[in-house]
């Protein structure tokens, strides 16, 4: 029987997770990935300070779909399609308050971002900057654990289980640095239920190759579940990461952009017991989506965005996804130029249909 991913008291049907991606993992993208088999999805990361001071946009990022709300209801069965919230910040008291408040929401996990490389986040001492201050990282995780426990206690007079707290790190801050094991041990000591490891430093951003050996090192060093992240571009990559590193789960980020099927492929390979070296089950195009299928999903993505955010916003936001859905297709550069001149959904769909049938 397959070993499932368990975080805290939550068991997930598969070990494959959609990462939080700023500007991308809105309700629509999450729903498409959930349909294909993502057991856990994350909203875009949310500022702890934003929640404290009532920022409207921060609140909006926490809105869940009906499916995510129902997936978070415990019925003693493995969970699939549930949602987690990822916070960022470097002030323990602020993160404590945020975790305490979010204990009442329908998410299933609270995560602390200790890996974001974006300059405006790092300049504030947040995200991957916490890797330079492991004492502060420890305090922030411990504060979130305490906040989640206090919030759970306030919800019920019974022993309501607090939401598990996890953290996502990179291997280090400066190029060539590796503090992953030390950081993961601090996170475990602070009471976290799992840690996600991206095998790059902050200075690398997304350059070069992710070092999966770092994930394996962390797995050997801590007792909590370890989730691997970095350079997972196919279902085979996801299963290979688990095989090579021994990690308990895989978090998929950019590999899911324009490719929600990556979760279906990973799940099928995992369930079938595929191992690297056994030959490619994807050989012959078994997992290769056709041009028609990719464009159909692109159109559906646009239609769901229209329903969720309105046509005006949707036609603008779909533009950043078009390049991902049409990557490698003949005529894709011209299509990307053309859609920048279109401001209504029906005309955009017509253009996609024309492109689909070329």
What are the E-state strand segments in 25-98?
Answer: 40-42, 46-47, 82-88
E strand residue ranges, the chain: 5-7, 10-12, 16-18, 40-42, 46-47, 82-88, 109-114, 165-172, 194-201, 226-229, 249-252
Taking 3-state DSSP, the helix, strand and coil percentages for the chain, each rounded to the nearest 5, stand at 50, 15, 40
Q: Are 42 and 25 in contact (CB under 8 A)?
A: yes
Contact between 129 and 90 under an 8 Å Cβ cutoff? The reply is yes
Q: Which residues of 184-202 are buried (b: 16+ CB within 10 A; e: fewer)?
A: bbbbbebbbbbbbbbbbbb
Q: Active-site residue 116, yes or no?
A: yes
CA-derived radius of gyration, the chain = 20
Closest CA to 68 of 43, 104, 102: 43
> CA end-to-end span of the chain, whole Å?
46
Of 289, 293, 288, the closest CA to residue 356 belongs to 293
Kindly name the residue from 114, 116, 140, 306 that is annotated as catalytic. 116
**Kind and range of the H or E run holding 336:** helix 332-339
Active-site amino acid positions: 116
């Amino acid at each position: 029987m397959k070993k499932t991913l368990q975080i805290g008291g939550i068991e997930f049907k598969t070990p494959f997770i959609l990462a939080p991606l700023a500007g991308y993992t809105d309700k629509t993208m999450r729903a498409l990935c959930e349909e294909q088999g993502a057991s856990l999805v994350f909203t875009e990361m949310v500022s702890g300070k934003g929640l404290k001071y009532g920022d409207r946009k921060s609140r909006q990022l926490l809105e869940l779909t009906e499916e995510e709300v129902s997936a978070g209801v415990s019925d003693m069965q493995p969970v699939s399609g549930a949602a987690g919230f990822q916070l960022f910040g470097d002030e323990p008291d602020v993160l404590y308050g945020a975790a305490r408040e979010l204990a009442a929401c329908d998410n299933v996990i609270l995560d602390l971002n200790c890996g974001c490389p974006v300059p405006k986040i790092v300049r504030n001492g947040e995200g991957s900057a916490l890797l330079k201050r492991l004492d502060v990282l420890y305090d922030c995780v411990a504060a979130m654990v305490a906040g989640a426990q206090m919030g759970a206690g306030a919800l019920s007079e019974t022993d309501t289980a607090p939401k598990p707290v996890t953290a996502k790190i990179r291997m280090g801050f400066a190029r060539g640095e590796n503090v992953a094991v030390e950081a993961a041990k601090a996170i475990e000591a602070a009471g976290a239920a799992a840690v996600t490891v991206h095998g790059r430093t902050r200075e690398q951003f997304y350059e070069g190759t992710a070092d999966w050996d770092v994930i394996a090192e962390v797995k050997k060093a801590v007792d909590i579940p370890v989730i691997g992240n970095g350079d997972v571009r196919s279902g085979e990559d996801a299963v290979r990461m688990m095989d090579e590193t021994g990690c308990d789960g895989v978090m998929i980020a950019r590999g899911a952009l324009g490719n929600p099927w990556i979760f279906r492929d990973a799940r099928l390979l995992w369930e079938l017991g595929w191992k690297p070296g056994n030959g490619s089950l994807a050989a012959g195009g078994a997992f290769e989506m056709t041009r028609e299928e990719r464009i159909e999903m692109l159109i559906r993505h646009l239609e769901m965005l229209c329903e969720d955010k309105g046509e005006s916003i949707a036609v603008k936001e779909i533009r950043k996804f078009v390049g991902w859905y049409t990557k490698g297709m003949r005529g894709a550069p011209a299509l990307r130029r053309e859609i920048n001149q279109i401001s209504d959904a029906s005309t955009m769909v017509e253009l996609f249909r024309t492109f689909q049938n070329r």
